[in-house]
Structure formats: C-alpha cells, structure tokens
Amino acid sequence: MNGQSAAVVAHELTRSFGEFVAVDRVSFEVANGEIFGFLGPNGAGKTTTIKMLAGLLLPSSGHGSVVGFDIYRETEEIKRHIGYMSQLFSLYGDLTVDENIEFFSGLYSLTGSRRRERRDWVLEVAGLQEQATHLTSELPLGFKQRLALGC
C-alpha cells in the first residue's frame, strides 16, 4: 500500500521524554476502511503513538499522516476529522453535559452557530438530550463514554 491510499501512515515515529524513549521508530499503515487493532503490553507506547497521530503530541522524529493531513503541520485539520477517546477520558464531573460540550467546543475553536450545531449533534448522536442539564459525575459509565467521544 502506498501512503496516498492509506487513512493512517506512521513511518519511524519516535517520541522521547528526556532520556526515556516511549516510542521507538514505529511504522505502519492503515488502509481506508480497514479495521486495525493496536495491541501491546502496558508501557509499550500505544497511547503515546495514538496521541501523536491524533495531533495531541508532537513526535520527536519520524513522520506520519492521518486522512492525508501531516501530523506536524496540520494537527488542527486532523482533530476536525477524527475522534479520540482514551481509557481515562477527560470529562469534568462537576460540569453538566452541556457545560462539558461547551468547554470542549471552545478547545476546538467552535463559535456561534457551529458551536450550537455541535452541541445539538452530540446530544442527539449520544442520546443525551434528557441528560443535558445533569452533572457528568452522575451519568452512568456508558453515557460518559458517549459524551467523551462527542467532545
């Protein structure tokens, strides 16, 4: 497969934190429409690799792309095209569902009608219309996961 037909390309991605090398020259490609599993033991660098590909963490070296966007130069475009939910998601339990959506919309620089459209879309797709004014800490785990994916 060439990089142009791939949805995800990672070529010799490396990420160091000081002297510690968390990801060491990882390379792979994921084709458009392919279901891809990313497995490994604790501490193997899976989350760090995903964060680099999601535009949340810059690699120390190597290169890659996600849906054609460069992981160094086009991180905002990557964020607009993908969703990322880690095992421990970053919702604020002391905020309502609406307030969490509002907060994360701001992180993605959504304003005005685009912010309202995103709110309505998240509530509808996640099935959380009835919980919009509830504190996130009061939601069942499955609802929190849906909200986190939408945020």
What are the residue ranges spanned by the domains of the chain? 3-81, 97-150
Tell me what pLDDT residue 86 has: 67
Average pLDDT, the chain: 90
Order across the sheet with 6-17: list the strands: 20-31, 6-17, 61-66, 69-70
The pLDDT score that the predictor gives to residue 149 is: 85
Ranges of residues in the chain whose predicted pLDDT is under 50: 3
Distance from the Cα of residue 111 to its chain's centroid: 20
pTM over the 0.75 mark: no
Q: What is the length of the chain? A: 151
Enter the tokens of residue 76: 């905002």
> Which residues have CB under 8 Å from 84's CB, separation 6+?
50, 51, 54, 56
Q: What is the DSSP letter of 27?
A: E
Nearest C-alpha neighbor of 88 from the set 148, 43, 38, 142: 148
Helices marked H in 27-111: 46-53, 75-81, 97-107
What is the CATH number that goes with domain 3-81?
3.40.50.300
